Structure 1
């Protein structure tokens, strides 16, 4: 996909933070195209550097690639779903950035789990033996199995999957069952099985298991510390998610639909200090990393804000909105540290979406009074901050032609939000 295939009307809708289906469809297509390009880049690198790749790692990678191709030939939708899962993007980014050596070989082994997940979700008969990392079999988007050995034989047939540690005759007590063959949904049972939990009324997952839910080696870093499975209050997360979705549906039904369709993963973070924190990863569009907010509106705001970082990251990969990084930095109202032009654009876009949500919350009936009062008081300050950032963007020579048009459309939407007095009850 290229600039010529991006209609001006869709670019305008995206710039105005509109949840229109055309924009969402385009971004999902762009995400998949990008994921395929990265996977192909990894294959090319492996072939180019095969002399430096360990024999075992190379053989595993090639077998897994063949398996993935086999599944893709007759169940492309399943393969697409696994490849587009946010943590697959984090793994690919890590693998492509890793220098040749043992670390790169270890990262290549993740393709085993990607291909295996696609094959098991496909439901065809399967009999293969794989090696695990520290006895953990991690199936992206499905769950994790703890095994007594680093080698396991996997036998699938009649919609049932059994695991034989050390390729022995006797299976482990854990069993996976294909409960929905059309969508490729697996469910597990057994003492050593931990599922990736589904969030209510949607296809999104609360993923506190995947080893690539945060970038490799960044636990506790800038994105925060990911919460472990045993430390996550799944009932509290489900209740807060349901309440946030209901609140969004009352406040802005289009935004509620966008969140339901676009957020594939919520990664719970360990709380750090007062309030809660949220983050996104450019390599993992569709994933929102956040600690558990105290109120439903806190989660609703975080989902909208972080989703727009994901949307902009995906759009920029499709249509560059700004040029290569320069040394110039700019002061913005929502952060104490000066930001490069990319940070100004990202912040302005995410805060514009939040301002849109706040205006609706302050004027629509049926929202909680504490939230209505709070956003009514904060809207003007945020609106001014976004306006200042838009002035920086429109005066900058770092935006591309498409980036400048994008910023112009943002400014028009920003002006419309402040066109009438805000009434907070």
Structure 2
């Protein structure tokens, strides 16, 4: 259950922020290994605290674990996809740190949804009743069924057809899901009480405005940020913004556009907190980009590049620590008014280095809109020196591990290769 240690070449490739197959494969392997470790830790906790867990919750948890094992033996790829979905990571983090009692019971019940989702996507025959907390049955990465009562839901699946019966409304027609592609386990549904998660254009990413674990309970950050409710989400608008941002990236940096398409598993709409869009990621949920509505295609493109690099570095740090934990030293960086610990300096420098790389290309590209070329050139000038100062802090710090120092040196080498400003030809197009 251990990942292959990263090679020097893979670390160097990741340090330069440029998309590369070796780095992508390394991070995917590390992410899955981490999920398996955390899932096993939750099993150990549930069994060690069995006397404090509701007996029915524990029975369902054990039944769900066995179902997941059965599906994994037959269709390991589908189980891996379900476990690696971003909201699974946040669920595990919340469940492992939750208090014993009703809170833990509630989180343990989520395993039933994961196991059932994996079984349905694998085409496994099923006939069982599952719980629907709050009258909602969430199938992570697929969609949500809203019940007319408290549940449970009777699930009957045979081959490619799944029927979901609301046992609190015995005369209602069942919701029907169809397994349209056995290769990747694609499920689509229909029925007045079913809401699926749309796939964003040109990618496999989902616009996730449904999953109860798409943000932590109660929100996150200061000021507190919360997810937009599904009823208030303009799905067609988000799809159009995504398409425009991807089109812009393809014209300016096709490799980055391809990386975004592969790396982003979920785009989570956030409630606006002001006139500017806000992006975020969570170390427990790599592959999810949380963002409030963007001001335009360049804004969303920059947010996607910035946030996916936070995910990449968080995943890498789980595999091979880049800096020591528990240190209290704080450092000043140019992009924030508050002093930051070395972890914040590392994260900020990495994400802003990726943006500097993007802005340099945008400022030099005749394919970029003139307004973005001007903006990108100015942003590159502003951030280039700030990243350089942060990299000096990192390279000289005694808080980094040996791998972290080598990684910081690789970042510094890429920073130096960008030069002091974009090529002159970019400015000739700024009219």
TM range (shorter): over 0.9
For the residues of structure 2 that align with 1:129 and 1:393, how far apart are their CA atoms?
Answer: 54
2:251 aligned with 1:250, yes or no?
Answer: yes
Secondary structure at the counterpart of residue 87 of structure 1: helix
- CA drift of 1:167 comes to 7.5
- CA drift of 1:378 comes to 2.0
2:31 equivalent in structure 1: 31
2:221 aligned with 1:201, yes or no?
Answer: no
For the residues of structure 1 that align with 2:234 and 2:259, how far apart are their CA atoms?
Answer: 26
For the residues of structure 2 that align with 1:218 and 1:228, how far apart are their CA atoms?
Answer: 12
The alignment yields a C-alpha RMSD, in angstroms, of 1.6
8 Å CA contact retained: 1:266, 1:290? yes
1:114 equivalent in structure 2: 114
2:269 equivalent in structure 1: 268
1:186 equivalent in structure 2: 187
1:91 equivalent in structure 2: 91
Secondary structure at the counterpart of residue 230 of structure 2: coil
1:301 equivalent in structure 2: 302
8 Å CA contact retained: 1:2, 1:319? no
8 Å CA contact retained: 2:381, 2:421? no
TM-score, normalised via structure 2 length: 0.95
1:225 equivalent in structure 2: 226
8 Å CA contact retained: 2:322, 2:404? yes
1:131 equivalent in structure 2: 131
TM-score, normalised via structure 1 length: 0.97
2:246 aligned with 1:212, yes or no?
Answer: no
After superposition, residues 4-43 of structure 1 pair within 5 angstroms as 5-43=5-43
2:81 equivalent in structure 1: 81
CA displacement, residues 93-121 of structure 1 (integer Å, 9 cap, x when unaligned): 00000121110011000001000100111
- CA drift of 1:173 comes to 3.8
Which residues of structure 2 form unaligned runs of 5+? none
- CA drift of 1:56 comes to 1.1
- CA drift of 1:181 comes to 1.6
8 Å CA contact retained: 2:3, 2:33? no
8 Å CA contact retained: 1:160, 1:177? yes
For the residues of structure 2 that align with 1:9 and 1:85, how far apart are their CA atoms?
Answer: 27
Which residues of structure 1 form unaligned runs of 5+? none
1:152 equivalent in structure 2: 153
For the residues of structure 1 that align with 2:421 and 2:281, how far apart are their CA atoms?
Answer: 33
- CA drift of 1:327 comes to 1.5
1:176 equivalent in structure 2: 177
Question: 1:318/1:376 Cα in 2 relative to 1: closer, same or farther (>3 Å)?
Answer: same
1:45 equivalent in structure 2: 45
Name the stretch that deviates more: 42-51 or 72-81: 42-51
Secondary structure at the counterpart of residue 197 of structure 1: coil
Secondary structure at the counterpart of residue 130 of structure 2: strand
Name the stretch that deviates more: 318-327 or 415-424: 415-424
1:330 equivalent in structure 2: 331
1:374 equivalent in structure 2: 375
Residues matched between the structures, number: 425
- CA drift of 1:159 comes to 1.4
CA displacement, residues 195-245 of structure 1 (integer Å, 9 cap, x when unaligned): 111100110000000000001222686562211111111111111111111
Secondary structure at the counterpart of residue 163 of structure 2: strand
CA displacement, residues 269-321 of structure 1 (integer Å, 9 cap, x when unaligned): 11121110000000000000011212111111000000000000000000000
